[in-house]
Structures are given as C-alpha cells and as structure tokens.
Amino acid sequence: MKRIAEIPKLDRPREKLLQKGAAALSDIELLAVLLGSGTKKHDVMAVAGRILKVLDAGNEKLSMGELRKIEGVGPAKAALVAAAMEFTRRRIRPEGIKISFPADILPLICHFADRKQEHFLCISLNGASEVIASRVVSVGLVNKTQVHPREVFADPITDRATAIIIAHNHPAGELIPSQEDIEITRRLKAAGETLGIRLVDHIIFNQKGYYSFLEHGEI
C-alpha cells in the first residue's frame, strides 16, 4: 500500500473526492478522508487499512476501546470513527430495500469488490423480499470449513428471516464458479430447506460484473 506522500496529489483521497465525488472512492480512501491525517509513526493510509481490516472481519460494532487497540488510532480518531459509524447506522440502513432481481443487492455489496481477500456475505430477507441485514460471514479463501451452515444461518435465524442471498467476491477477477462454490451452494441450499429459510441466490462479483446462480438456472 502506498503512503499518502507517494500518491500523486490529484489522486489523493480528499482531492479525488472533491473532483469525482464520494462514490468514486474505495472504502480505504473514504476512511482516510475521515481520519484526515496519520501520526508521526503511522501514515493515514496504513491506519485506514488497519481499521478496514477489522471491520471486514465482521466486527462492525467496534467500541471505543477496540478502536484504540488498533495501531495508530488514538482517542480523537477513535471518537471520529465511532461517531461516523453510529451516524451511518442511524441514517443509512439497508433494511427495507426490496430485492426483485439478483442485481438489486449489488449496491449493498459492491464496495467489497476491490478487496484482496475473498469476503463471504449473507443478506437476510423477510417474507416480502426486503433486506433485513447484510453481514460478512467470513474473510479469506471461501471453503467448506469457513462457510459452514451454522455460521451462515446463525444471524438469519435470529433475524427471523424467511430467505437469504449469499455472495462473495473473486479477487482474481474470474467470475465463473469453482467446484467449491457449487458444492457450498448445494450444501447451504439443503441446510436452508431443513431450517425453512430459502436460499434465493449465490452471487459472485468483482469490479467488472457479477455471476448469479439463479440467473444461470443453477439454484
């Protein structure tokens, strides 16, 4: 990862935001803008990367104490990040978004497309096909060990969801499902039928597009 001083001035997060708008920035760039600056020992991009790594691991409700454990994050930056996350939870929520087609969930997950590791996501839906919540289940290579039915369905059961959509990014850029992807889909579909929670679709995505098991008649 480049240090902020190594990035051409016009490509730095704040300047990029001013020219192209917030939607053009990656998650790490948005965090860098929020943080404003790093410290003498820690570049702002490095600090933003560490915070993002913790968030991507599924810990989206970081306390002030947990934030301050992250290298380079002091009281002021911890307070800023905590306030931003709470404001987002209050004002910008996925709940209630109607899912009519597979592509409808892409705005909720597309910011994971640039990650260097695979992120396996689960979106809980109610009986009206509206989003209840979107969560990261696991980070790393998607396999049967990490993507176990109990991990995937634990939160949807608590949500009283009637259906789920699962998704994961392919960092390598290839959208075609692997044999492992196919087997995981079959396993989770069977588990969902037992639990009474329907698996609607499995979406593989990257920065260029997506692959829907449902659209290809594979679910």
Q: Does residue 131 share a domain with residue 56? A: no
Assign residue 36 a region (left: φ > 0; alpha: ψ between -120 and 50; beta: otherwise).
Answer: left
Q: Among 45, 60, 91, identify where a domain stops.
A: 91
Residue 152 phi/psi, 5-degree rounding, is -70, -40
Q: Does residue 73 share a domain with residue 13? A: yes
Q: What was the pLDDT predicted at 60?
A: 62
Residue 112, in any domain of the structure: yes
Residue 217, in any domain of the structure: no
Residue 165, in any domain of the structure: yes
Residue 219, in any domain of the structure: no
Q: Does residue 157 share a domain with residue 61? A: no
Task: Identify the residue with better confidence: 202 or 115.
Answer: 202
Residue 96, in any domain of the structure: no
Residue 119, in any domain of the structure: yes
Q: Does residue 82 share a domain with residue 143? A: no
Q: Does residue 124 share a domain with residue 44? A: no
pLDDT in tens, 117-138: 899 999 999 999 999 999 999 8
CATH of the domain at 202: 3.40.140.10
Q: Among 43, 64, 91, identify where a domain stops.
A: 91
**Full domain range(s) for residue 30:** 4-91
Q: Does residue 129 share a domain with residue 87? A: no
Residue 167, in any domain of the structure: yes
Q: Does residue 110 share a domain with residue 85? A: no
Q: What percent of the chain is modeled with pLDDT above 90? A: 58
Residue 61, in any domain of the structure: yes
pLDDT in tens, 45-80: 999 999 988 887 765 667 888 888 999 999 999 999
Q: Is the pLDDT of residue 23 over 70?
A: yes
